[in-house]
Structure 1
């Protein structure tokens, strides 16, 4: 795990958890817009910290590690945790457990990935495809068809994000991340409804598989704010740091 801290002079704290394949650098463009008002904590989780010495295992295990960090380094409390894409699994577990105080949560692009009896296709093909992609990331000039199908986003903005891909990602990390993506909503289905939870659900209007995700998240968090971004696909919000910062700040103020 790698933790980068910005705006440490500010008292209100935001933790940013990047998506699959990504390091904390995924948030490089939005951090300067947030650190003027907030203490920003950007995390590369295990498996994505560039070292090649750690492996992402489960969202629970990562939440436990972050809880220890928050207790030791952040006085046991964070005002807001934002999980981008797969980072939402760890963010959701951290928020649900409340072993440390997490005031509010934004889930950005928490797609519903379970394909029922065909889920084996994801676990068999996607991690290997992602692993091969990480080995040639700098020379890629167009999105693989599976990634395009999954994101429905702006190709160039997503290609630009390849500069934030973590180094030395193992196949085991990518396999475990895929399993966690499939397990996310069965886990959420076990949560008792929490109408007091301060939650926002961000997604692109072009993003697939969000209707089912919204149904399940609204059951768990009945008063969650649904926040569609018109014309965006999965991950496109990262390419609009001004919009992202504006809406994080607005949510914090609300």
Structure 2
């Protein structure tokens, strides 16, 4: 897994983990804002790296690989790990891994494992997988209908269509299967990391299960409601607000 680094002269370190169906350059609008103050680690996740032909592994494996890599590099502390959607799942497990000290963990619309019978989760993963396969075949026209209520441009949707065409069937299946069913340690380990869960105004219904899970497992979590930006829209549509919120985590 390739880890892109920016602002290496800075002391405080942030790990930025992208959602599914995008590449690491999902963060291209916020990197110039954050690298002035922070040392940024931006992994190109397996299966979504156009320069590497690997397939997606699992949420657990990627979190473990990131922790091992950071430890091997000699990093002893992160200011924050941020992950959006699928990236939020990875961010949570990175924080729970406890290989290095992490001050803040931000799950932006982060996905939590379903608390449902195994067979039901198979059908949900299959539905999500088939939707992505249809999107890959239908291209921008179909994606425009699917994202009609969100504030994405045609260029944004073309980007998603290009990524979908790059992704293997194995990557798409493993992505949704793993996000729906990854294992959180039980019992949950005690951690010093401050947990944050962000979601957009209007996303409450879609994130209802995730919010309930986080409140149940991690009652100390701080919840923040974002403007109406659509799922995963903060980084893309409001980079200055994102930079401000990240910088104010410790306030």
TM-score normalised according to structure 1 size: 0.84
Instruction: Report whether the alignment pairs 1:202 with 2:204.
Output: no
Tell me the distance in 1 between the aligned counterparts of 2:128 and 2:158: 17
Tell me the distance in 1 between the aligned counterparts of 2:21 and 2:195: 25
Tell me the distance in 2 between the aligned counterparts of 1:228 and 1:174: 29
Instruction: Report whether the alignment pairs 1:232 with 2:229.
Output: yes
Tell me the distance in 2 between the aligned counterparts of 1:154 and 1:6: 30
Tell me the distance in 2 between the aligned counterparts of 1:247 and 1:154: 22
**Map of 2:8 onto structure 1:** 8
Give structure 2 stretches of 5+ with no counterpart.
none
Tell me the distance in 1 between the aligned counterparts of 2:82 and 2:43: 11
Give structure 1 stretches of 5+ with no counterpart.
none
CA drift of 1:81 comes to 0.6
CA drift of 1:192 comes to 2.6
TM-score normalised according to structure 2 size: 0.84
Task: Give the direction of change, closer, same or farther, for the CA distance of 1:69–1:179 in structure 2 (3 Å limit).
Answer: same
SS of 1:4 mapped into structure 2: strand
**Map of 1:107 onto structure 2:** 107
**Map of 1:44 onto structure 2:** 44
CA drift of 1:135 comes to 6.1
What do residues 134-182 of structure 1 show as CA deviations (whole Å, max 9, x unaligned)?
4665xx146365x54xxx8524258626537647321111111111121
Higher mean alpha-carbon deviation, 77-86 vs 5-14, is at 77-86
Tell me the distance in 2 between the aligned counterparts of 1:128 and 1:51: 26
Q: Structure 2 matches for 1:1-254, cutoff 5 A?
A: 1-51=1-51, 53-111=53-111, 114=114, 116=116, 118-134=120-136, 137=139, 140-141=140-141, 143=143, 147-148=146-147, 154-156=150-152, 160=156, 162-163=158-159, 166=163, 168-184=166-182, 187-188=183-184, 190-192=186-188, 194=190, 196-207=192-203, 208-238=205-235, 239-251=237-249, 253-254=250-251
